[in-house]
Each structure stands twice: as C-alpha cells, then as structure tokens.
Amino acid sequence: MTERVVGIGAGAKELATEDMILNIGPQHPSTHGVLRLRLTLDGERIATAEPIIGYMHRGAEKLFEVRDYRQIIMLANRHDWLSGFANELGVVLAAERLLGMEPPVRAVWARTLLAELNRVLNHLMFLGSYPLELGAITPLFYAFDERERIQAVMEEISGGRMHYMFNRVGGLKEDLPLGWLDRVSAAVAETRRRVPDIEDLILHNDIFLARTTGVGVLTHDQIMQYGVSGPIARASGVDLDLRRDDPYLAYPELPVKVVTRSAGDCHARFEVLLDQLKVSLDLADTCADRLRALPPGPINQRLPKVLKVPEGHTYAWTENPLGINGYYLVSRGDKTPWRLKLRSASYNNIQVLREMLPGHLVADMVAILGSMFFVVGDIDK
C-alpha cells in the first residue's frame, strides 16, 4: 500500500493509505499497439495486473460467415500481421479436410517452405524489437537487414510483403518462379551466416542479462492453466510442437528439432526464439532441396467457380510462429461457412500476464511484456 500524508491547517496531518491505479496504454510504445494494462501498484511493485483487450476487435469470425472460402483467406492472414502465410494455412487445411481433397505434393512442400520462411520473418522482428524496448537499438538494424533479405523472396513469389494471399484451397495460387529456389537458398545461407552477429551483440550482454534473467518467470502449471503455447511455453519446459507432435503439410518427413528451456524467464524466451530461427532456416533449406528433386507437376487442384464445402465440421490447428493457431469450421454445404471459430495464440498467451506481473517492479513490466511476443491483432481478432 502507498502512504499519502495530507496536511490540514497549520501543521496538522492525517495518515492515509490507498492503492495507486496505473493504466498502461492503450496508446503506449511498450504495448505493441492498442493493448491496455490496468495495474494496481504497491509503491514501485505491481500488486495486481489486468489486461484489457478489444480495442482492435474487427469481428473477424462474423466476417468469415459472409465470405466465400477464397475471400476468407484474405481476412485470415490479417489478425497476426507478422505471420500472414501461416494464418492462411489453417483455413485451407480445414476446407480441404471436409472436401476430402489432397493438394499436389509440390504444393505441400512449397507450403512448408513458405511457412518456415514466414516463421523466420516473424522471429527476426521480435529478436530486433525486444532489445529495443530494453534500450538497445543496434540489434533492430541487424534484424531488419536480415528480414529484408527473406522478405524479398516472399515478395517475389506472392507480390505481398505482409499479406501474401498465396494459399488456395487445393494448393497455391501459382507455380514457383524460375530460379526462385536458388534465390531462397542464397537468402537463407546469408541469413544463417549473419544471425550470430545478433546473438553476439545482445544474448550475453551484461545489461540485457540483468534485465531479463530471473524476470517474468512463467511456470509449467500456469502454462497448462491458461493454454499458453509456442516459444513462450517451450521456454518453460513444455515440450510441445505440432510440427512434430501432430504433423501436417510435409512435416512428417522433416526432422523438426523442438527447442526448449527450463528457466521460463524473459531470457529463456529470447533464447528459444533465437534457436527456433536457426531450426527454421535448416527446415527451409531441406524443403528447397526436396522441391528441386521433385518432378514437374501441378501446384494446385482445379476447383469449380463456386466452391461449396460439404456439410460437416472439423478442427485444423497449426504451429504458428507465436503458438497454436486453430480453426473450427462448421459447414452446412454452402459456399460460405456456417461458423468459423479462430483460436489465436496471442489471445491465450497474453491472459497469463495477470499471473506473471504481480510482485515485479514497474520497470520490469516492459521487459516482461516484450518477451511475450504477441501481436495485438492476434489478441483482438
């Protein structure tokens, strides 16, 4: 409790205690967008924390119900704008499952390659922006330099830099450009060569260690209670990755290394993200080699002008860069879904802040919040 001394008249005083309520956001640099935190403070320490969400809610799930399956892909890649291609996958996988459709093998491997390149882009963003929130600006320039290299090959194949719109029910929009795989391999090799620069610059920096080690510890029980997933969960020892444990696309044929840590603090989460970046670069190389070895063939299935998904329901989940992304699709045989429920990673991950923040200093809040690697659009949908 904070103490406030109130003066009445000449020299008289009364001692009173009160809680101090501090609102962080919804317009604040450390909240990555319009997220609001309502903190109750005891001096410099946080007594309670309440995430208040919804400032960016667009009603995406209701919009899904009045769009056909081609249009839904455009909406689906926008809630986590750093993982556009990965967001699209859940929609097309769910529709293909109800249709009983198998996309061509080249489409399967190309989707896997693009998903891993998208994961690299996502992780590079947070590897650059997180140190910035702690006062280190240089890693941001290194990370964005590498992002631009990968972004170039993604833009070449899809025409988009953030919202790729390259998935289609039954495959991909079009075939890979001539020589594109060679440019992918060159970009991946150069990025792999330069990632240690970011690692050496920040990972063992004394100031970075002091701000992140032992700060914002998330326990295994808290993760299970709140449904936390992705690199945040794996940094607390939860050995779960859908690419290995419930594989989709070409992941059954890939050696997916699952990166974990046991500390569960801010530093462990940063380490997991960095190591996952290296794993994704290796997987992207493997996918590119496999695509070169495949014979020429189609990249998608021929579809009717009006695509109607048979009546039924299914759930498709994927290992998005930030955690588990799931779509529950209910169809009544129309060209639009009757219901399409989205389970986004950031929505669950951010709820655990009410458990993590109490007991920490206000100054540590920025370090903890940044290490949760969330996108506000992915929270609010």
pLDDT in tens, 208-263: 999 999 999 999 999 999 999 999 999 999 999 999 999 999 999 999 999 999 99
- Looking at 160-263, list the stretches that DSSP marks H as alpha helix, in order from N- to C-terminal side: 180-202, 206-212, 220-226, 231-234, 242-245
Name the 3-class secondary structure at 124. helix
Distance CA 213, CA 233 (A): 17
pTM for this entry: 0.90
Average pLDDT on 188-200 reads: 93
pLDDT higher than 90, residue 14: no
Distance CA 355, CA 66 (A): 38
Name the 3-class secondary structure at 7. strand
Long-range contacts of 203-211 (CB under 8 A, 24+ apart): 203/270, 203/271, 203/274, 205/136, 207/134, 207/135, 207/136, 208/131, 208/134, 208/136, 208/267, 209/267, 211/134, 211/266, 211/364, 211/367
Give residue 114's pLDDT band: very low, low, confident or very high (50, 70, 90): very high
Give residue 43's pLDDT band: very low, low, confident or very high (50, 70, 90): confident
Give residue 29's pLDDT band: very low, low, confident or very high (50, 70, 90): low
Distance CA 92, CA 169 (A): 5
- Provide the 10 A C-beta neighbour count for residue 9: 6
Average pLDDT on 285-290 reads: 96
Domain spanning 51-371, CATH architecture: Orthogonal Bundle (1.10)
Long-range contacts of 275-278 (CB under 8 A, 24+ apart): 276/119, 276/123, 276/231, 277/119, 277/120, 277/123, 277/124, 277/127, 277/195, 278/192, 278/195
Strand partners of residue 328: 315, 341
Residue identified by tokens 């890649």 is 77
Residue identified by tokens 């992941």 is 251
pLDDT higher than 60, residue 13: no
Q: Residue 30: what pLDDT?
A: 60
Residue identified by tokens 């892909």 is 73
Lowest mean pLDDT among 18-32, 98-112, 298-312, 363-377: 18-32
Q: Residue 8: what pLDDT?
A: 39
Distance CA 166, CA 169 (A): 10
